[in-house]
Amino acid sequence: MKIHEYQARQLLREYGAPVSEDAVVTAAQEAGEAAARFGPCVVKAQIHSGGRGKAGGVRPAKSPREAREAAQALLGARLVTAQTGPAGRLVRRLLVTGAVKVEKEYYLSVVMDGARACPVIVASAEGGTEIEETAREHPERIAQIPVSPTEGFKRYEGLRAAHLLGLTGGSAEELVGLLEAMVRLFLEKDCSLVEINPLALTADGRLECLDAKITFDDNALFRHPEIARLRDPDEEDPKERRAAEYGLSYISLDGDIGCLVNGAGLAMATMDIIRHFGGSPANFLDVGGGATAEKVKAAFEILLSDGGVRAIFVNIFGGIMQCDVIAEGVAAAAAELGVSVPLVVRLEGTNAEKGKEILARSGLAVIPAADMADGARRAVEAAAQTERRAGSR
């Protein structure tokens, strides 16, 4: 689960990190009032996305009037960043922070490293909005320090990070304190990422967190009701939200072939084989093992509600999951909503024949597939045809 910058800043502050005063506002007038309190300030769009600076979502303001103008321009606008996709995100809230005089910007994070099976401190002296480029072109300029999940943070790890960043004396001590806080927060709240980019060395020699991003492990949220309350449904994909209500594993992607599959392994293989035939999946959707027809129906409805879908590929290998249950769910959803894109179906395994009969009786125009590769190829072709037809209209 993601949270907003203002919420991440508040958590970091509670853990003792150097985060300056700020104000969350929803009206231009309030931004002006905050600026009157803080003096020179920065007005920042609160959306679940990075890359706001480059997209005009982070605006310095020298006076209350400038803060009001920045707020006016941002509130209610859709901000398109490198991370939001072309539709962008509606800006409903702004954060006003006192402007910090920056001497140098660093990158600092604690992230779960699956390969090492432990949290890792990631630090770079080249922080700020160009960190992605540094990661691509000079990965050696980004240091990684593994942390023991059972023993927690050690002072010498912090001193090593300080050395790598070129921080000495008082600032090195400040960094050690900040890292200690970040690791404690990471472990206590079951985070998957605690990121500060940039961490600023200020003109008067202090460290200051200018931006904060925290994500949490969804599987541990039940242990942290106070964190679960920070969820902002406005920032979530409505399709993913609906899928979660039904206990479906669903992730939106930006391709055009909607996939309904049982089992995560088969779902990944399906995405791979679609790519192999030159297509692009619109989603990852695993209905799981013991899904009911009702759950399958909800899954199919989610696929139909995706405007970017040009073909649907139902790829089922029935084991515990029975093909007739899948067919019933698909037929029920199709009867209710209608299917306007080609539907390729591969049913194999338990009750496959029964499933095919149900689909045949439903009157749905199904493109049957002999096997998984055949189905993927047909789905890719069908999507391309839909695309051409849409283009020629």
Give the nearer residue to ligand GDP in terms of CB position, either 62 or 388.
62
Q: At what angle do helices 28-38 and 64-74 cross, to 10 degrees?
A: 150
Decide if residue 42 touches ligand GDP (CB under 6 A).
yes
Q: How many CB atoms lie within 10 A of CB 132?
A: 12
Both tokens assigned to 79: 């901000």
The residue number whose beta carbon is nearest to Mn ion equals: 211
| Chosen residue from 22, 174, 211, 328 binding ligand GDP by CB under 6 A | 211
Give the nearer residue to Mn ion in terms of CB position, either 192 or 270.
192
Interface with ligand GDP in residues 56-95 (CB under 6 A):
58
CA–CA distance, 341 with 309 (Å, rounded to integer): 8
CB-count exposure of residue 185 (10 Å: 0-12, 13-18, 19+): buried
Decide if residue 128 touches ligand GDP (CB under 6 A).
yes
- Given 15, 107, 246, 250, which residue is catalytic? 107
- Given 105, 126, 180, 195, which residue is catalytic? 195
CA–CA distance, 284 with 79 (Å, rounded to integer): 26
CA–CA distance, 378 with 368 (Å, rounded to integer): 9
Question: Do residues 136 and 81 lie in contact, with contact meaning Cβ atoms separated by under 8 Å?
Answer: no
CB-count exposure of residue 168 (10 Å: 0-12, 13-18, 19+): exposed
Q: How far is the CB of 313 from ligand GDP (least distance, A)?
A: 36
* Stretch of 9-17, 45-53, 335-343, 347-355 contacting ligand GDP, by CB under 6 A: 45-53
Instruction: Check if 107 is active-site.
Output: yes
Decide if residue 211 touches Mn ion (CB under 5 A).
yes
Instruction: Check if 195 is active-site.
Output: yes
| Chosen residue from 7, 81, 84, 197 binding Mn ion by CB under 5 A | 197
CB-count exposure of residue 389 (10 Å: 0-12, 13-18, 19+): exposed
Give the nearer residue to ligand GDP in terms of CB position, either 11 or 299.
11
| Chosen residue from 79, 100, 243, 293 binding ligand GDP by CB under 6 A | 100
Give the nearer residue to ligand GDP in terms of CB position, either 86 or 307.
86
CA–CA distance, 113 with 110 (Å, rounded to integer): 9
Given the rule CB under 6 A, which residues bind ligand GDP? 42, 44, 50-53, 58, 97, 99-100, 102, 105, 128-129, 197-198, 210-211
Given the rule CB under 5 A, which residues bind Mn ion? 197, 211
Which sequence positions are flagged as catalytic?
107, 195
